[in-house]
């Protein structure tokens, strides 16, 4: 089985509060980017094997965790997983989460498990905060850790979206360092109902302040997108990839 886990961007990202479990409650709009994908192959096998191409991934891969979750829950047999990484890592584009979610969905189909999408999303949330989004893979308002999802009838179909990976790795831990949670002055859903040209200065990513302070080159690159004619430009997620909407 051959699958193409796609990237996402965050349209706005508000860090609302620190939770008692150590995580943060956020508010964001997840938007899928179908043109930027990893390549994932699931193959029947006698023993489990995970092979990654195009990048080095330290520790247990989320795809392996996804297989183990269904192996323990449903008793599925071993598979070989071949993953070719094209989505940059440490870029805020959700590549690892997409890989995990697509692995869950693919295994569900490959072995005829019949797990409903809502239940599959709950399993995905155990693997990562934004994994559940990729089960649905459509524009979603996200709250909580990113796992509380509300579909939004929204499209950038009349615009051109361009992704600009940067030669900077930003860890989630680094991005949260120095963040002061707060209730947003404006809600993302209301902002994105306005024309894209009106978003600048209103649709904010709270991580930009701290990440740009540590990596001024990212702020300069974002400003260059505006100078190049972008109607709106921002960092995706916890960074470091930037995007422009034209």
Closest CA to 11 of 172, 142, 176, 136: 142
Q: Is 130 annotated as catalytic? A: yes
Counting Cβ atoms within 10 Å, is residue 117 exposed (0-12), middle (13-18) or buried (19+)? exposed
* H/E stretch holding 216: helix 216-227
Compute how many other C-beta atoms are within 10 angstroms of the C-beta atom of residue 219.
16
Measured between alpha carbons, how far is residue 88 from residues 3, 160, 220 in Å? 18, 20, 20
Q: Is 8 annotated as catalytic? A: yes
Which residue among 38, 99, 130, 206 is the active-site one?
A: 130
Q: Is the dihedral of CA 143, 63, 36, 119 positive or negative?
A: negative
* H/E stretch holding 142: strand 140-143
24-37/39-44 β-pairing: unpaired
C-alpha span between 131 and 123 (Å, rounded)? 9
Tell me if residue 179 falls in helix, strand or coil.
coil
Which residue among 8, 38, 99, 206 is the active-site one?
A: 8
CB 232 within 8 A of CB 203: yes
* H/E stretch holding 190: helix 188-192
**Which active-site residues does the annotation give?**
8, 130
């Amino acid at each position: 089985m051959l699958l193409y886990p796609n990237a996402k961007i965050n349209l706005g990202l508000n860090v609302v509060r620190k939770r008692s479990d150590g995580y943060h409650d956020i508010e964001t709009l997840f938007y899928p980017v179908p043109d930027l994908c990893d390549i994932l192959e699931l193959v029947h096998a006698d023993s489990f094997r995970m092979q990654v191409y195009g990048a080095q991934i330290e520790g247990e891969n989320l795809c392996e965790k996804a297989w183990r979750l269904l192996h323990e829950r449903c008793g599925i047999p071993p598979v070989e997983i071949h993953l070719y990484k094209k989505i940059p890592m440490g870029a805020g584009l959700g590549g690892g989460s997409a890989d995990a979610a697509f692995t869950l969905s693919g295994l569900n189909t490959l072995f005829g498990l019949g797990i409903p999408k809502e239940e599959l999303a709950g399993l995905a949330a155990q693997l990562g905060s934004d994994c559940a989004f990729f089960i649905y893979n459509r524009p979603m308002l996200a709250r909580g850790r990113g796992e509380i999802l509300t579909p939004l009838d929204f499209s950038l179909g009349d615009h051109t979206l361009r992704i600009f990976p940067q030669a900077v790795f930003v860890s989630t831990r680094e991005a949260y360092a120095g963040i002061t949670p707060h209730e947003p002055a404006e809600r993302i859903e209301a902002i994105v109902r306005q024309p894209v040209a009106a978003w600048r200065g209103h649709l904010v990513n709270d991580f930009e302040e701290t990440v740009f302070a540590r990596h001024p080159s990212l702020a300069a690159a974002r400003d260059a997108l505006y100078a190049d004619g972008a109607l709106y430009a921002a960092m995706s997620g916890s960074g470091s990839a930037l995007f422009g909407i034209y």
